[in-house]
Amino acid sequence: MLLNGNGNGNGSENGSETPAILSKPLRVLITGGAGFIGSHLAEYLLAKGAEVTAVDDLSTGSLANIAHVLERTDFRFVYESVTDETVMDRLVGECDMIYHLAAAVGVDLIIKSPVRTIETNVLGTEAVLRLARRHHKKVLITSTSEVYGKSDNHPYEEDDDRVLGPTTRSRWAYAESKALDEFLALAYHKEYRVPVVITRLFNTVGPRQTGTYGMVIPRLVRQSVEGRPLTVYGDGRQSRCFCNVRDVVSALVGLGLHPRAEGGIFNVGSEHEITILELARRIIRLAGSESSVELIPYERAYRSDFEDMRRRVPNTQRIRGLVGWEPRIPLDQTLQEVIAEFRSRIEPASSPETVRAAGVR
């Protein structure tokens, strides 16, 4: 199947439109294409007949994530930063649309490197939007549920007010930088008629996700498989909604190809809520581990002024109504996939030397 601009990622249920046949494949540029979500998105698009170019500086991505597609003639990897305008100008000019996933992510990275977080997110997005305007290309921007901050209005709806902490707490740098991305994208859409779609991703999980920057499920899975105590911060009663990455990329494709999504903001995530304490216990059970759960005060894990959100639950009525999307993969299946992957492989580093040895472009 060759994708065009009238499709969705989940088929034709609920009155949504299906992809039609084109005379040639859709050419897609994915920034952050060697990352966790980006690599799954590339895989999904290739399976649908698209031609994919992935650009990534491997600061948080990994060649291991895309090793299985590197030799394909319909896939190209470019080792570069999205802020390199010369390279990006050529890549944007060659594509039909852009999925902008490149960003600084993860609680640990955000707290330890606030300057990198802000500059990567804001400058990278501005560069992509500027080039999209120049070449008249459509852009899907991946934002985050973090932009809702510490609002108690659950489940979160896209037009809800945002409640964030003071600028003296670096915890909020990520949320504010992604909110600025949204403002910038909508401004380009309004003032320059750049076709943009904004997605707010809630907790996305699955194979290839690393625990390096504070992602909770990879960390808990590693601890359970290694027989160590599973460290849960605070009292463990804080809750999240976890969505399988394959479901998420299906949503991204559906929204990216739907003309009526342009200029809109869409929550993407599961509505199934679970406490982190229950999550840890479930991982222990599914892994067949004898590990225990250890509650750790936040100040021991982060800084004394760290703020965590008690709940983070999306309302996904908007995306369901437009493209008929909803998550299909149960949490237990996702956890089993992550456990199996951790047991089967060791995640290699992506050094510049490795990149050059691989001969990537």
pLDDT 10s digits, 15-42: 344 344 345 899 999 999 999 999 999 9
Catalytic residue among 99, 156, 174, 213: 174
Q: How far apart are the C-alpha atoms of 63 and 56, rounded to whole Å?
A: 10
Work out how many domains the chain is built from and give that number.
Answer: 1
The neighbour count for residue 237, using CB atoms within 10 Å, is: 12
Instruction: Kindly write down the DSSP assignment for every residue of 227-240, as one continuous string.
Output: TPPEEEETTS--EE
Domain that holds residue 264: 13-205+243-270+313-326
**Global model pTM greater than 0.85:** yes
**46 inside domain:** yes
**45 inside domain:** yes
Q: How far apart are the C-alpha atoms of 107 and 117, rounded to whole Å?
A: 10
Q: Domain holding 28: CATH number?
A: 3.40.50.720
Establish whether 188 is a catalytic residue: no
H or E, element range at 331: helix 331-344
**236 inside domain:** no
Counting as low any pLDDT under 70, the low residues of the chain are 1-23, 106-108, 213-214, 301-306, 345-361
How high is the pLDDT of residue 117?
81
pLDDT 10s digits, 217-256: 999 999 999 999 999 999 999 999 999 999 999 999 999 9
**344 inside domain:** no
How high is the pLDDT of residue 212?
74
Composition of the chain by helix, strand, coil, percent to 5: 40, 15, 40
**91 inside domain:** yes
Query: Which residues partner with 19 through β-bridges?
Result: none
**238 inside domain:** no
**302 inside domain:** no
